Structure 1
Amino acid sequence: MTDICIASNKQTSQKQLKVFIYCDYQNAKLNLEQAKLLLVFAKSKGRLIGKNIYYNSQCKNQAAGKNNLDSVGYTCFDVPCPLKNSADNQLIADCLEDIHSNISPDIVILISGDGDFVKLVHNLQKLGKQVIIFAQVGNVKQKLKELADKFYFIDKLSELVENNTQFKTTSLDAKINYNEAIECLTKAITTTLSQGKRTEFCYIDKLMRQHCVNYQGFSSIHTPDGKKFKSFGQFVDAAVRDAKVQRQGQELFLIELDKLAA
């Protein structure tokens, strides 16, 4: 299978989202076919700017398996160290460096079910990045699965790619007006409170992305004067000023009706 059928529908006039793949090969060993399908999936999300695989050559099964992945264009980083989390730490360091560079991706695709990446995912989402996670069945931490903006099992890649209707490329030109964004925000807060979870910025932003088709992060919100917000926090501050929601630190709450009546 090639990515031609998916990529041909992209609007070249639009500025595409930048996508970066980071694979923890020790935790999730992609075979050659899965690696190819992952590239198709990533390109359907935007412009693929990087595809890194991290492994430890001191483990023979990792060194042998990664050789096939070189052939389809992945950049493989050997972290030959006896420490258990050495490859994980290198992946995290590289990802954070990329995020704060001039190639900063909009979407991070993480291939791992390792709970060591929970903090990384949380930090990426606080920066307004979308995180898509793939993991192997039976080898994923529940916290990581819940935190992902989107989560899939690796063995479902074939079905995902074949179902082209899921892969309409998201553009940075996607728009949602301010009032629609406020409505989406309040619904996300209501849902989170009903789940008994903390209404932190990163989780609310995640729900908004999931439940509102046109919301693709704070930069997709357009105010009546045509300006864009520079951060999710700036959008929240505007909602607070307009008495749409309340804020306590990094948590959000709905305006109580009795207070408004008073």
Structure 2
Amino acid sequence: MKKVMQATSVQPTMKSKFSVSIHWDYENISDTNLAENLIIFGQLRGDLVNKKAYAKRWKKFASAKNILKKHNFCLVDALLDIKNSADYRCMFDCIDAVKSDSPPDVFIFVAGDGDYAHVIRLLKCRGKQIIIFARHLSDSKKLKKLAHECYFIDDLPRLIMEGVNNS
């Protein structure tokens, strides 16, 4: 996966740090052990202003709910009874966030499937930096091309160590 930022990286204006928002498709990558490392990665990138995890029905992830709540993730139910409803809800939330008075500078997606291509294009048009985490073999070539940075989720601990060492 590509790791290097494109030359057109976004610079925050009138702020000392980037504001960062995490959007986690929990149905796609359902591993609560990632929560703490995602938070650390987000904080290494700036001020973490948003942490959302999406699922169609959180009932089937009952044990995960408590762990994610402990890490202050907002658990979003995608209540539409259609395929990819968690993806759609996440995309709607990102569009709302970018239209807000103080939108995040950086959007971190934990997903990897190509469903997010349209919203990522929109966010990039608004000058937002996009980082994607995906599982091996489930990463989308389309998203790799669109994102500023794209990583395998298994590389998260190494990226944090490198970030800590470079701070």
Tell me the TM-score range normalised by the shorter chain.
Answer: 0.7 to 0.9
Task: Quote the residue 2:56 is aligned against.
Answer: 56
Q: Residues of 2 paired with 1:47 and 1:130: CA distance?
A: 14
Larger radius of gyration: 1
TM-score w.r.t. length of structure 2: 0.84
Deviations 1:52-73 (A, max 9, x none): 111122772x344333211111
Query: Mapping of 1:1-262 within 5 angstroms?
Result: 15-32=16-33, 34-57=34-57, 60=60, 62-164=61-163, 168=167
Distance 1:108 1:23, change over 3 A: same
The alignment of Structure 1 onto Structure 2 pairs a total of residues equal to: 153
Deviations 1:37-66 (A, max 9, x none): 110110011111000111122772x34433
RMSD: 1.8
Identical residues among aligned pairs (%): 34
Q: Residues of 1 paired with 2:52 and 2:166: CA distance?
A: 22
Deviations 1:173-229 (A, max 9, x none): xxxxxxxxxxxxxxxxxxxxxxxxxxxxxxxxxxxxxxxxxxxxxxxxxxxxxxxxx
Structure 2 stretches lacking a partner, 5+ long: 1-14
Q: Which runs of 4+ in 1 moved over 2 A?
A: 62-67, 164-168
Letter in 2 for 1:56: K
Task: Verify the 8 A CA contact 2:58 2:77 in the aligned structure 1.
Answer: no
Distance 1:111 1:58, change over 3 A: closer
Letter in 2 for 1:157: L
Deviations 1:79-107 (A, max 9, x none): 23431121111111111101110120110
Instruction: Provide the secondary structure at the position in 1 that maps to 2:67.
Output: helix
Q: Residues of 2 paired with 1:162 and 1:153: CA distance?
A: 15
Instruction: Provide the secondary structure at the position in 2 that maps to 1:110.
Output: strand
Distance 1:146 1:15, change over 3 A: same
Deviations 1:98-143 (A, max 9, x none): 1110120110001111111011111111111000000111111111
Distance 1:104 1:79, change over 3 A: same
Q: Residues of 2 paired with 1:167 and 1:25: CA distance?
A: 30
Letter in 2 for 1:20: S
Q: Residues of 1 paired with 2:31 and 2:22: CA distance?
A: 13
Offset of residue 165 of structure 1 = 5.9
Q: Residues of 1 paired with 2:63 and 2:136: CA distance?
A: 22
Structure 1 stretches lacking a partner, 5+ long: 1-13, 169-262
Q: Residues of 2 paired with 1:78 and 1:71: CA distance?
A: 17
Task: Verify the 8 A CA contact 1:54 1:77 in the aligned structure 2.
Answer: yes
Task: Verify the 8 A CA contact 2:56 2:79 in the aligned structure 1.
Answer: yes
